[in-house]
Structure 1
Amino acid sequence: MSRTTPPPRRRRGALFSAGVLAATALGAGGLTQGTAAAADFACEVGYSTNDWGSGFTADLTITNTGSTAASGWTLTYAYAGNQRLSQGWDGVWSQSGQTVTVEDTGWNGTIAPGASV
């Protein structure tokens, strides 16, 4: 993977955050979860990069800022260019075109209020 500018931070309606190695500029994104009522679920996503010119790593953190545990979460986002995911941790990662999807691995599927993955 390579790119020259760091990706912008992006927040959507319900805020959130998740920890892993990813890649580049976020175009559109979202987080879904399975069992908590939507009105009680809120999250924040943190995104930071380490760019060395010919590639970079990204650290994503999903923090549950709501009052109900999130269970069975999925994060999706889209690259703005031709970036490719090479690997990821702490989730089941896939990419189709510019869209990247990360699903919980089971052991990290529940995010308690105030907790992060």
Structure 2
Amino acid sequence: MNTLETDIEISTDGSMKLLAPMPAWLRPGRSHVLLVMADDSEVGPGIEKTANVCGGDACIASTRVPVWSLEQARRLGFTDAELLDNYPSLTGSDLTAAWAYVTSHKVEVEQAIRDNEEA
């Protein structure tokens, strides 16, 4: 079995492009399996997921503050101002990024909240 390890570029429409020339054995008409492994990187503006940091949950970039914990605090009645007082390293734009992430990843955030309530 041949293996190709290379970087790919994924555009906003979901199309992929190899960032290296395609080898001869990887050509149309043959069966191939594509495994895409994402790096530990930003998953949205100001939000990162890093393996082995907070269980791989989405966090505010360059922190160990999980988005789900901010959302849970908000549900418990904390205002943005109170969150910023309790997390002095965060900014208003960090909270804006967190709320945008919550809106676009509802199922993931709900599951993280449930998992951590049960722990």
User: What TM-score comes out, normalization by structure 1 length?
Assistant: 0.22
Structure with higher helix content: 2
User: What TM-score comes out, normalization by structure 2 length?
Assistant: 0.22
- Higher RCO (CA < 8 A, seq sep 6+): 1
